Amino acid sequence: MRIAVFTGSRPGPESHRQAVAALGTGLAEAGVGVVYGGGHVGLMGTVADAALAAGGEVVGVIPQHLVDDELAHPGLPRLEVVPSMHERKARMTELADAFVALPGAAGTLEELFEAWTWGMLGLHAKPVALLDVDGFWQPLLAQLGRMADDGYLERRRLDALGVVRDAGELLAFVAGYEHPPRKWADGRPPPRA
């Protein structure tokens, strides 16, 4: 099994670096491979380094323009270079059996929402989770709750999004995951205004 990790290219606070390193180590020790964005910087580099140090499989997928900017991790046994950010996400989705978003910024959010949305639309049936370090994801979860309360997001979609604190909780979530039916698969048309 492999889990795609979405996270930041900046280091963030020390507590985040420790939690991300522990996740990389925990996944490697459990025999779970890491698929990630292929960079050596920030939390991306932290999770890769930790998994590699623990003897784990790490697959990096990076677009050529980031290789040109010298951001590729030099110590990866497997680094796939793709033409664009779009191909990067598609390839990571192909390689992964599940997804987890760690602390990060706009790119992390974009990857998270694409993976989660693709699941809603039935393009895959893979679990998606958030590693909630120091309550990092709580403001987003509150906003998603508001979206569900206001009828924009089905509650079952929000309930299917895992919120975990460590590798053990992530692996338990993945093992017990049941994918909800794809959006509108029950034959109901989209709600009308």
- Averaged over 46-50, what is the pLDDT? 98
Stated pTM of the model? 0.93
Model confidence at 48, pLDDT cuts 50, 70, 90, reads: very high
Say which residues have a Cβ less than 8 Å from residue 52's Cβ, sequence separation at least 6: 28, 58, 75, 76
Q: Are 11 and 40 in contact (CB under 8 A)?
A: no
Give Cβ neighbours of residue 167 (< 8 Å, ≥ 6 apart).
22, 23, 25, 26, 27, 29, 30
pLDDT digits (tens, 9 = 90+) for 95-151: 999 999 999 999 999 999 999 999 999 899 999 999 999 999 999 999 999 999 999
Instruction: Note the pLDDT of residue 40.
Output: 96
Domain annotation for the chain: domains and CATH numbers = 2-175 (3.40.50.450)
Helices 167-176 and 14-29: crossing angle, nearest 10°? 50
Does the pLDDT of residue 193 top 80, yes or no? no
Q: Is the pLDDT of residue 192 over 80?
A: no
